[in-house]
Structures are given as structure tokens and as C-alpha cells.
């Protein structure tokens, strides 16, 4: 996504990626957008990490609901690793050097680099839910929020994510946050009618975010206090450092076990390719190839 013309990223909700640097935009792979929800989980830890906390393959309650999450469905069966030459390193996926360690012993960690403020992530998160449902039992899915577009209020959304994680409400509010930013406009930095940024004076504030989370049982003063805490500030800094170490420069980006990086653009012509490539890399890592 171009910093010079940021409204384009908001206007074209089918974008495959919002870039961290100027002049980088691409069309999304064709795919239906199923009416599904995506879980929210914390990023993997590393030598320069954002602290991790995850809910495995659990799916949170539906958007706008304070009900408990539905029971976790059985994990998908593990797939054997078969290298038939379809997926090419350096084209469809990229080796991360050095690899970033995770903090889930015995598990393979699949991480999405995302932002609530990214329209491409809003379009992609139902697809991410399909990917989560396709993961075998040895996989933990985690989320890593980016902040690289301060001109689009991304640091606020990153701060909100970590505060919600600390308060135990990130999972059940994950979809509702996307809705608040891109559907109802309750927490929108963009004018959703005009498809361009609001004046900065009209941007949502941390107090506005606190009012949103109050609907899920969080005291607004407590939310603001946690959001401004040293712990959350540290998590934000570590998340920024980890994203750089992973080489992720667009959202959404998928990282497999801190070793491999891909995006919907690199994976192929449609979102099914993103799911298939991620599953292939999981099988590759499981097989130790």
C-alpha cells in the first residue's frame, strides 16, 4: 500500500496485500469470501519477539457476541509431504534467514502478520479461518499485528490487540474489531463512504476503543491503563522487531514456524493456493525436509 495514496488500500477491499512501503500494490487472488470467523492469537516468540499466547485451532464466538467460543472442532489429519515441484522457493514462498525461533515446543507455529486497519486483512480473515480449520493437531496458529502505517492509525489497532490479549478478550472480539473498522465504522480511520482517510481529528482514539471493549465486559479505565502499560509498549516494540526479522513487508503475510514466508500474492491465483501452500509447508516442516 502506498503511503502517498493510502486511501486506495481502503477503497479496494479486495487487495491481496497492504505494503509497508510506498508504491507497492497488487490485485487480490480471486476467491469467494465465505462467511466465517477467524481466531485471534498472539505472535510467536523469538530472539526479538512479541510474546506469544495462543488458543491453538479454537474458533472464537461470532462477531458482536459475548458468548463463549464454540467447542474446538477436531483437527484436520496430517498430510504427507510430497514435493512434486508445484511450489518454488523464491517464487511462491521465501526462506527466512536467520529463522526465528518459536516458543511452542513440539508444535509448528503458523503466524499471520496482520492489522485491523488493513482492508486486505479484512478481506482475507475468513480465508484465514478456513486455513486454521485445515491445520493438523501439531500446529498452533498465532497472530502478529503490524504498525507500519501510522498515517492510517495502525499503531492504535496494534495497541488494542495487545491490550485485548492481556485482558482475555481478543479471541471473542477478533471479528467484531474488523467489523467496527470496516463495516459499522465505529472504529474506522477511513470514511467508508468516500473511501478516503478521515481528518486526523476524527480518528478513533484509545478511549473509543475502550468503549468498544466495554461491550465485552472490560472496564474502560482498566482497558486504557493496560493499553498504556509498559508491558503492552514492550510487546508492540517486540512485534515491530519480529516483523522486520521475518522479512514481512505486506499484510497479510503467513509465516510457517519462523522459517518460511508467503503471501496470497506469492502463493498463486486464488486463496485456495494460500491454504494449500501453507499446508504443504507445514507437512514439509513436520517431515523435517
Could you tell me the CATH number of the domain that includes residue 43? 3.40.30.10
Q: Residue 12: inside a domain, yes or no?
A: no
Q: Is the peptide bond before 98 cis (omega within 30 degrees of 0)?
A: yes
Instruction: Give 136's DSSP letter.
Output: B
Give the distance, in angstroms, between the CA of residue 89 and the centroid of all CA atoms in the same chain: 23
Euclidean distance between CA atoms 203 and 188, whole angstroms: 7
Q: Residue 223: inside a domain, yes or no?
A: yes
Q: Residue 229: inside a domain, yes or no?
A: yes
Euclidean distance between CA atoms 66 and 119, whole angstroms: 25
* pTM of the entire predicted model: 0.78
Q: Residue 26: inside a domain, yes or no?
A: no
Q: Residue 11: inside a domain, yes or no?
A: no
Q: Residue 69: inside a domain, yes or no?
A: yes
Q: Residue 19: inside a domain, yes or no?
A: no
DSSP H helical ranges for 15-153: 119-133
Grid coordinates belonging to 80: 504427507
Q: From first to last of the 289 residues of the chain, give the pLDDT tens digit.
A: 333 334 444 444 444 578 775 434 444 554 443 333 333 333 333 333 443 334 344 333 333 333 333 445 677 777 788 888 899 999 999 999 999 999 899 999 999 999 999 999 999 989 998 999 999 999 999 999 999 999 999 999 999 999 999 999 998 999 999 999 999 999 999 999 998 889 999 999 999 999 999 999 999 999 999 999 999 999 999 999 999 999 999 999 999 999 999 999 999 989 999 999 999 999 999 999 8
User: Could you list the residue range(s) of the whole structural domain that residue 92 is in?
Assistant: 31-286
Helix, strand, or coil (residue 9): helix
Domain count of the fold of the chain? 1
Q: Residue 171: inside a domain, yes or no?
A: yes
Amino acid at each position: 500500500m502506498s503511503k502517498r495514496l493510502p486511501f486506495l488500500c481502503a477503497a479496494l477491499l479486495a487487495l491481496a496485500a497492504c505494503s509497508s512501503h510506498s508504491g507497492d500494490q497488487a490485485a487480490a487472488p480471486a476467491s469467494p469470501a465465505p462467511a466465517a470467523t477467524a481466531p485471534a492469537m498472539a505472535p510467536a516468540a523469538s530472539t526479538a519477539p512479541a510474546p506469544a499466547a495462543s488458543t491453538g485451532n479454537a474458533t472464537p464466538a461470532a462477531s458482536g457476541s459475548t458468548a463463549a467460543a464454540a467447542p474446538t472442532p477436531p483437527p484436520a489429519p496430517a498430510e504427507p509431504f510430497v514435493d512434486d515441484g508445484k511450489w518454488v522457493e523464491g517464487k511462491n514462498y521465501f526462506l527466512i534467514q536467520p529463522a526465528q525461533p518459536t516458543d511452542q515446543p513440539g508444535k509448528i507455529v503458523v503466524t499471520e502478520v496482520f492489522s485491523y486497519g488493513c482492508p486486505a486483512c479484512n478481506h482475507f480473515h475468513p480465508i484465514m479461518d478456513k486455513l486454521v480449520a485445515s491445520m493438523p493437531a501439531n500446529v498452533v496458529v498465532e497472530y502478529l499485528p503490524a504498525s507500519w502505517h501510522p498515517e492510517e492509525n495502525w499503531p492504535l489497532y496494534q495497541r488494542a490487540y495487545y491490550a485485548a490479549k492481556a485482558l482475555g478478550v481478543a479471541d471473542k472480539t477478533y471479528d467484531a474489531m474488523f467489523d467496527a473498522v470496516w463495516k459499522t465504522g465505529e472504529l474506522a480511520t477511513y470514511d467508508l463512504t468516500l473511501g478516503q482517510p478521515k481528518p486526523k481529528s476524527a480518528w478513533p482514539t484509545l478511549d473509543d476503543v475502550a468503549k468498544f471493549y466495554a461491550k465485552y465486559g472490560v472496564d474502560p479505565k482498566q482497558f486504557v491503563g493496560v493499553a498504556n502499560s509498559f508491558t503492552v509498549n514492550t510487546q508492540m516494540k517486540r512485534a515491530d522487531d519480529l516483523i522486520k526479522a521475518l522479512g514481512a513487508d505486506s499484510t497479510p503475510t503467513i509465516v510457517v514456524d519462523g522459517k518460511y514466508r508467503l503471501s496470497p500474492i506469492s502463493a498463486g491465483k486464488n486463496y485456495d493456493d494460500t491454504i494449500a501452500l501453507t499446508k504443504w509447508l507445514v507437512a514439509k516442516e513436520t517431515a523435517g525436509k
